[in-house]
Amino acid sequence: MQLRLDGKTAIVTGGSKGIGLGIAKAFADAGATVLITARSAETLETASAELGPNVHWTVGHAGRPDDAERVVGECIERLGSCDVLVNNAATNPYAGPLIDVPLSAWDKTVEVNLRGPLAWTQAAWNGWMNAHDGCSVINIASVGAYRTAELLGLYSLLKGALVHMTQQLAAELAPRARVNAIAPAVIKTDFSRLLWQGDRAERTAKSYPMKRLGEPADIGEAALYLAAGASWMTGHTIVLDGGQLVAFDPGAE
């Protein structure tokens, strides 16, 4: 099945590197016009040049509703529509037990990882999607949404909330817009370096039934399916974890 996005315009937050870059590339290769946004003009310009003429950029902070309004408006004015929104940008300022998290770190993580996707979805919905059929919102969650975590409890908790928000918005925005999510395990990006740097990469890969870590292109493939296919799918989360959640527990034998 060949999936195409010709004539469609997509916004990808956090699109200058890592998972966002992988999604932007998949969309551009499928014919979409893509607007990537992040905080650094330099990294955005580099990514846009790398991905080719279908990819444009503008600076924007994923946690700021004013930036969401501005970027969505710019997308519609410059590129003609806002058919797909990928809420990919995230932050992880704290690693440790949830019981010890500084509330300032809680606030920052909520701002970007949960309030941010809602604000950007509101901007896309009010600016374009509520008047046009066939639109799609894709939230990037985490396999951590489905389990506890020794050091990433805050991050995982909010990704769990994002999965639920995906379901809620899917019910509210249908049939004009579909809202789905992707929940990756460890993807080899700078953002997740803590989880795979040094000898962790080999040990983590061996614990997955698929025996490798994920790559940004893996998430790009799934996002393209959600944006260009999956026309009767909304409110669901695709888990891309190399089999992590079904792996045998060596301590159980």
Q: Which of 94, 155, 208, 225 is labelled catalytic?
A: 155
Q: How far apart are CA 237 and CA 149, in angstroms?
A: 19
For 212-217, what is the mean pLDDT? 91
pLDDT of the residue at 208: 86
pLDDT, average across residues 222-245: 97
23-27, 38-42, 61-65, 206-210: lowest mean pLDDT where?
206-210
pLDDT in the model for residue 16: 97
Instruction: Report the candidate in 17, 63, 222, 57 with the shortest Cα–Cα distance to residue 138.
Output: 222
Lowest mean pLDDT among 10-14, 64-68, 205-209, 235-239: 205-209
| 94 given a catalytic annotation | no
Percentage of residues in the chain with pLDDT exceeding 70? 94
Q: Which of 114-118, 155-159, 201-205, 231-235 shows the lowest mean pLDDT across its residues?
A: 201-205
pLDDT of the residue at 205: 80
Give me the pLDDT at residue 197, please: 64
**What pLDDT score does 195 carry?**
59
Contact between 149 and 156 under an 8 Å Cβ cutoff? The reply is yes
pLDDT confidence of residue 250: 63
Q: Is 207 exposed, middle or buried (0-12, 13-18, 19+ CB in 10 A)?
A: middle
**Of 20-29, 107-116, 195-204, which range is least confident?**
195-204
Instruction: Categorize the per-residue pLDDT at 207 as very low, low, confident or very high, splitting at 50, 70 and 90.
Output: confident
Contact by Cβ (8 Å): 142, 184: yes
The residue ranges of DSSP E strands in the chain, in sequence order, are 9-13, 33-38, 55-59, 84-87, 135-140, 177-184, 237-240
d(CA 113, CA 26): 23
Give the residue-averaged pLDDT of 67-73.
Answer: 98
Quote the mean pLDDT of the chain. Answer: 94
25-57 pLDDT, tens digit each:
999 999 999 999 999 999 999 999 999 999 999
Q: Which domains does the chain have, with CATH numbers?
A: 9-238 (3.40.50.720)
* Statement: residue 113 has pLDDT above 90: yes
At 239, the pLDDT band (50, 70, 90 cuts) reads very high
